[in-house]
Structure formats: C-alpha cells, structure tokens
C-alpha cells in the first residue's frame, strides 16, 4: 500500500532516530537531520514514517501497551523490567518540530459531471475522490480544514496535518457535520440524510440540530439527518468500490443496484416491480453502465427494454 522508499534511506532514518533518542544528540545533529530530510521526497517520507512510528507508541498508555504486547502470543516474561518501574521521558516534544511554510487559506469550488470521478490532492496532502454528479467547496483556514459537500459523494483520505496546530477536518452537509478522527471515509449527501462510511480510523457524526453526536469506527456506516442519527451498521464495502470504477455487489436488490448505476448515467433507469427484489451478486463497471446492464441481462431472468437511450427499464423475461 505504502509507497516504497529506498532501504538505504530508511537505514539512515533509523540511524538518526537512534542518535536523537540516545540522549547525546547535539544542536548540530538536529540541523543535520533537518537538512537530511530536505534531500528528496523519499527522505521526507522516511522521516514522516518515523514520526508515525513514534506516534503509535505515544498513543497507547504505557500501562496498557506493555501488558497487551506481552500477552500476544509471546510467553517469555520481561521479568525484572517491571521492578524498575515506569520512568517516562519527555515524549513527542523532544522530536523535531514540523518545518513547514506558513499556512495559507485555500478555497475552491469543485463540480463533477454525471459519470465523472475526479481525484484531488489538497495542500495538506489530504486526497479527495469526488464521485459522479457532486459539488463541494473546500474551505481551509488556520483553524479548520472543512469541506462543504453540497451534492453527491466524496471519499476522503486525510493526511496528517502539517500545520503547527492540529486543525480539525470536517465535512459539512445540509444535515450537519462529519468530523474526521481518522483517515479514510466517505460522505454522501442525500435529500433527507447524509451517509457516512468509515474504512479506516473513525468519524464523528454531528447532526445540525442535535446536542451530541455519534462516533463511527472503521468498518461501520450510518447516516444522519438534521436532528437524528441512524443505527450503526457494518460497513457495506460494496457501495464503496466506486473508488475503483466498479460496483461489487453482494446480495444486492436489483432495484438498489439500478439506483446506484443510475447515478452514473443520464436519464431514467428503473425496473419492473416483479424483478425489483431479485438478489444480485457480481462486479459491475460504473464507467460503462451499458456493459453493466448487458451483464444483468445475461445473468438474470430480465431483459433490458429501452424506449430511448434515456429511458431504460428492466423487465421480466
């Protein structure tokens, strides 16, 4: 998943980490590290990775980390270590502070046409994939990273905030806000509710007129209206494969599948009531919805009838 970094560079990063942590690092070392990071994108990435490793260790209370790791499939006891007690060093503050250019506010309007999907990388490194027929505004300030989702759907992979102070990352819809506590999630705004699906990390849903929100974890999905939150359900990953231009259906009702496909083509796409409940599994291309319809015709007892290309109905065969 991660971009590969030259092992030699990783080795140098490891050397610097040891030097910094050994307690004998000098100001000169720190300057040298800053310079080292600037040598190439891979150097900078290696250093970010090192900070992420430390971040993982710092995010688990010592009383929990040690014991848990010992209980995982390892029988050897660390023994006398415990007698030594816990002696905490200064944590992340001892590491090099981020060195970034002054932050600049950035706003933009984005629209996608029907059937279009667009990738976008924001100045903080966050990646957006904007789905078909969507529009959103990007409003980044010194205080907050905010996406106003007016219509459609967006998949977000947040990056670690490079700004000196941590800014919240939120997606605002007409129903309220979804605040990212983690990394990879999607928001889709509908008429009556906004749907949130979390692939990694967590997202807090805050309906506009509710006093408290609900946190969704990785592998969960839910929806919220202006004053209510729906029950949490396991993530239906099928609905998120649009990221790859495919819809991977698992026991999906034909009518629901057509609703999905319909978002990617102009006109009306519907089915006869007697076949609406047919269960469909399979992989359907979203960029060629005609091919998807032919596939349905080939595998289900239905036929595609089309008055014009604009008005398509699936009927029992």
Partner 1 sequence: MSSSLNLPIQDLYCEHHGWLYRWLDRKLGNANDAADLAHDTFMRLLTRPGSGGFGSEPRALLTHIAKGLMIDSWRRQEVERAYLETIAHLPEQQVPSPETRWLILEALYRIEAMLRDLPEKTRQAFLMAQIDGLTYQQIADELKVSLVSVKRYMRDAFLACLSVA
Q: Which positions from 202 through 231 interact with partner 1, judged by CB under 8 A? A: 202, 215, 217-218
Instruction: Choose the binding region for partner 1 from 7-15, 107-115, 167-175, 254-262 (rule: CB under 8 A).
Output: 7-15
Q: State the number of binding residues for partner 1 (CB under 8 A).
A: 72
Minimal distance, residue 248 CB to partner 1, in Å: 6
Whole-angstrom distance, CA of residue 69 vs CA of residue 15: 25
Minimal distance, residue 16 CB to partner 1, in Å: 9
Three-state SS annotation for 113-158:
CCCCCEEEECCCCCEEEECCCCEEEEEECCCEEEEEEEEEEEEEEC
**Residue 71 interacting with partner 1 (CB under 8 A):** yes
**Residue 115 interacting with partner 1 (CB under 8 A):** no
Closest to 272 (Cα-Cα) out of 249, 301, 238, 248: 301
Helix (H, G, I), strand (E, B) or coil at 188: strand
Whole-angstrom distance, CA of residue 37 vs CA of residue 16: 11
Given the complex with partner 1, which of 150 and 202 has the nearer CB atom? Answer: 202
When binding is defined by CB under 8 A, the residue of 26, 27, 41, 89 that contacts partner 1 is: 89
When binding is defined by CB under 8 A, the residue of 41, 84, 93, 231 that contacts partner 1 is: 84
Other CB atoms within 10 A of residue 234 CB: 8
When binding is defined by CB under 8 A, the residue of 151, 241, 306, 313 that contacts partner 1 is: 241
Tokens of 285: 């291309």
Minimal distance, residue 250 CB to partner 1, in Å: 5
Ranges within 161-190 binding partner 1 (CB under 8 A): 181
């Amino acid at each position: 998943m991660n971009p590969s970094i030259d092992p030699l560079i990783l080795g140098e990063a490891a050397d610097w980490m040891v030097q910094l942590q050994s307690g004998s690092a000098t100001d000169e070392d720190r300057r040298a590290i800053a310079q080292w990071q600037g040598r190439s994108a891979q150097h900078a990435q290696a250093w970010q990775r090192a900070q992420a490793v430390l971040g993982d260790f710092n995010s688990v209370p010592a009383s929990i980390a040690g014991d848990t790791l010992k209980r995982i499939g390892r029988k050897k006891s660390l023994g006398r270590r415990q007698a030594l007690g816990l002696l905490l060093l200064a944590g992340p503050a001892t590491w090099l502070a981020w060195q970034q250019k002054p932050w600049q506010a950035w706003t933009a309007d984005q629209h996608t046409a029907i059937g279009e999907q667009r990738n976008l990388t924001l100045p903080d490194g966050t990646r957006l994939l904007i789905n078909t027929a969507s529009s959103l505004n990007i409003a980044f300030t010194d205080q907050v990273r905010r996406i106003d989702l007016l219509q459609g759907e967006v998949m977000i992979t947040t990056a670690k905030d490079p700004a000196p102070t941590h800014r919240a990352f939120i997606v605002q819809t007409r129903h309220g806000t979804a605040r990212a506590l983690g990394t990879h999630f999607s928001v889709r705004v509908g008429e009556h509710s906004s749907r949130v699906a979390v692939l990694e990390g967590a997202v807090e849903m805050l309906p506009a007129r509710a006093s408290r929100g609900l946190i969704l974890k990785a592998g969960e999905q839910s929806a919220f209206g202006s004053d209510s939150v729906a029950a949490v359900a396991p993530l239906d990953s099928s609905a998120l494969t649009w990221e790859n231009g495919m819809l991977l259906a698992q026991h999906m009702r034909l009518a629901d599948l057509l609703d999905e496909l319909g978002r990617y083509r102009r006109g009306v796409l519907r089915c006869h009531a007697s076949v609406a409940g047919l269960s469909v599994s399979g992989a359907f291309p979203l960029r060629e919805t005609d091919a998807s319809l032919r596939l349905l015709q080939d595998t289900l007892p239905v036929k595609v009838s089309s008055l014009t290309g604009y008005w398509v109905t699936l009927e029992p065969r």
